[in-house]
Chain A
């Protein structure tokens, strides 16, 4: 079975993860721009980070037959550093139109400060003007109100609801998200946010329409195989195969292919892994035998 993990921070993951992800059937990922675990203090750090999302990380994933897309945006935490935020927002137009940039994201609220609101509003307007998809990070605390506010602001900024993905939903927020017309993404984390068990219950209750499963795996305790593992649990619990396909592949593809930045034809072709093409002295292989497989 094939899987699409539309929210995973590959820059934090090892080649062992990439290998395991490919073996588990993950064919495509989206890496949203986010914060680095500690605040960046210079705009140059963002330049290099954004460049790595459209360069090195895409290349690294391709070595394992995984198509890598990304989103560009200023995250809510670092939006609070106002002078830095201003410089980072100026960078957004330089990166938003790059190949494989499927959305503006992950943006939204953390503490719901004025500075966060300013950066979110700015990026919503940019996305609306440029007809881009928006990926919204919903806050850990005060989540329900944060999501309602995020949706209202997106509506006011002129972002069509079919181009809005609200992430990190839970049982308490899913109805608000779905009733707005936006896509409802769920992050499966081992200890926080959602677990696979609860995810299955959500799909049982709400069906597969506009529901997306992702891992948001990063530098914290997280699981890059969350999507296939949740798919397996759905199967075990008797969820129809079509619903599993929708929530772990097709919905993500439909949502983000609206960007025009996913070459669907190429993605649907069998994955070609040819590590010989890239056997570099300091490459991901480090002297291992290259894998050539179809």
Chain B
């Protein structure tokens, strides 16, 4: 897999035009070769820093084919919002030839210790490719504790690492923090595969808190339930479906379908007038209610 990722990064860096010109590519190849030959931890960190002198943190232009290829290489890896600089930095990180050894984890840790915000994002984005994943689990959870939203998203969204390696506590924290912070929970890879009673309880408590404070419930909150939460979950979703917020009603409709309660959803559909919500209800009843369906319902908290 590592070689495929390395090739993907280099090939797509070459497609970035003036954002990554021939001089930048030459520097990149030289730096990657230097890293591959073995460098001190300090030098490794410096080369990752110096990439910012060759590439700006501007959005990368990636074709549909490139994104499809990325998903083939590693399920859950979706670099659609990576910057050119992040691509270069991840490429340099993966240029190490000792990724199977403890020395690479030590160098990575040192780079994190001295990292700026952009470097943190690149380091977190690269974790999914690391062969010694267990060496990075605690640090990945640290990324989720960051108050810098870009850093949080770099590890939490479009990244297969957390679903594969987080324990339940870290996983629940990630999901609920995404709701709190307005990060797109539907983009947390593997969410549907790691639902559970404890997550449902925390999510339902949060819904109650929001209502007590007269604040709308985040539509993506209903993503956290699945078939969990029992009667309390059903009551909470029904309450949402009787509310005035169409986004919330659409989301709760998906939630009910996810809970396997199409019967309740059909009943509530009879009273629904909003065409957007009706559309969501019909999709949900047709079995289209995976986390991807929530992409149009993601909104910022109030």
Contacts and interface: CB of A to CB of B under 8 A. Distances in A.
Contacts of A98: 49, 52, 116, 119
B120 interface: yes
Q: Chain B interface mostly helix, strand, loop or mixed?
A: helix
Interface in B96-124: 113-120
Interface stretch (B5-13, B147-155, B226-234): B147-155
Contact of A99 (B57, B152, B182, B300): B57
B16 interface: no
B69 to A, nearest CB: 28
A104 to B, nearest CB: 15
B114 A277 contact: no
Interface string A240-279: 0000000000000000000011010010000000001111
B53 interface: yes
A289 B302 CA distance: 6
B116 A280 contact: no
B117 A95 contact: no
A257 to B, nearest CB: 14
B181 A279 contact: yes
Interface stretch (A4-12, A51-59, A211-219, A230-238): A51-59
Nearest to A58: B117
A283 interface: yes
B302 A260 contact: no
Interface string B56-73: 110000000000000000
B42 interface: yes
B42 A55 contact: no
B143 to A, nearest CB: 12
A281 B177 contact: yes
Contacts of B45: 94
B149 A99 contact: no
Interface in A5-63: 47, 51, 54-56, 58-59
Contacts of B119: 98-99
A83 interface: no
Given A99-B49, A279-B300, A93 B42 contact: yes
A232 to B, nearest CB: 33
A266 B119 CA distance: 19
Contacts of A58: 116-117
B134 interface: no
Contacts of A59: 117, 147-148, 150
A263 B57 CA distance: 10
Interface residues of B, number: 29
B292 interface: no
A47 B300 contact: no
B76 to A, nearest CB: 23
Given A51-B114, A58-B117, A283 B147 contact: yes
A276 B182 contact: yes
Given A279-B300, A281-B180, A263 B56 contact: yes
A179 interface: no
A97 B56 contact: no
Interface string B174-195: 0001001110000000000000
B50 interface: yes
B116 A54 contact: yes
Nearest to B114: A94
A290 B117 contact: no
Contacts of A95: 114
B46 A55 contact: no
Contacts of A281: 177, 180-181
Closest 8 CB pairs of A and B: A54-B116, A276-B300, A278-B149, A99-B52, A280-B181, A97-B49, A281-B180, A279-B182
Given A94-B46, A97-B53, 6 more contacts: A47-B113, A56-B148, A59-B117, A98-B119, A283-B147, A290-B182
Interface of B: 42, 45-46, 49-50, 52-53, 56-57, 113-120, 147-150, 152, 177, 180-182, 300-302
10 contacts: A59-B117, A59-B147, A94-B46, A98-B116, A99-B57, A99-B118, A99-B119, A277-B149, A278-B181, A280-B149
